Amino acid sequence: MRRIIITMVALASLTTMHGQSKKATQMKVELNNKKTMTVFYKTIKIDGLEVFYREAGDTKKPTIVFLHGFPSSSHMYRDIMNDLAANYHVLAPDYPGFGYSSAPSLADYEYTFDKLSHTIDHFIDALQLKKISLYLQDYGGPVGFRIAARRPQLIQSLIIQNANAYKEGLGAAVQPLVSYFEHQNTETEKEARNILTTTKWQYTDGAEDLSKVSPDSYISDQYFLDRKGNDEVQLAFFRSYGSNVALYDSWHTYFRKYQPPVLVVWGKNDQIFIAPGAEAYKKDIKDVEVHLLNGGHFLLEEHHQEVALLIDSFLSKRIKN
């Protein structure tokens, strides 16, 4: 079986010749890959749409649902799903308008974060998921926080990776988006459209080692962005983004009232959602771990194994099969 093993070796305190105490703790971390788990690629009809998703692992084990960000898809979770599938039931859908899911016209689907959260809610119910952890990155935050606030009994934990819920987390790179949803005009739309050409930058900026960032990621994302009519889909989501900021206070109320266990793993070099946004979760949540890793907005390209170990360590103490 493929297992994630975290071994702590604590070294006893040593007394030096000068009477000073020296403490050292050594952590040995390894991934033991004895068996590769199969990832299945499926579609399911939700709200009249074909929703594509990836699935792996035993359905009897704790479930993690991965919600992707902009401009990505479930593809961004390909590696970490493999890392975790031996010990968890893992699923990652593509939103309507993204990846391999249906991309209806604006006349046939309401491209707002409220609508998207209900579609993913229906996806969860269609798969008969009763208790889940949500992994949230970028757009996954406003989608997942809406679901969690509506259905707190569904949530076993939240795993938050560069997904913002606090104003202090909004970086300078997100300003063209803010300007657009606050003041929609020709000039702000032009700046917002420029965001649709920054895909490679979003993957590479702040990366620790560019050789670990697969070109397949940003090239495939850009391919789907460039589909005819998709620019209008993405602009609709940009216009809807202000509804997320307006809900920050209500999400904080949910955090304080229900106190879900929260693991925050954050690419500290992200210029879109900056590191203070990661630390801000400590204000409202008691059972929270925050880990700032040396990466950017798409942290998992480089650090999926490290994040998988953090997830396993966190969840194994809080969730039982």
Residues annotated as catalytic are: 297
Distances (CA, A) of 43 to 54, 95, 195, 251: 9, 12, 29, 31
Among 64, 30, 37, which residue's Cα sits nearest to residue 316?
A: 64
DSSP, collapsed to helix, strand or coil, labels residue 142 as helix
Cis peptide leading into residue 142 (ω within 30°): no
For the sheet containing 89-93, what is the strand order? 40-46, 49-56, 89-93, 63-67, 132-137, 155-161, 262-267, 288-293
Residue whose entry in the numeric block shows the structure tokens 């960000």 = 69
What SS3 class is residue 269? Answer: coil
Q: Cα-flanking dihedrals φ and ψ of residue 253, to 5°?
A: -60, -40
d(CA 124, CA 128): 6
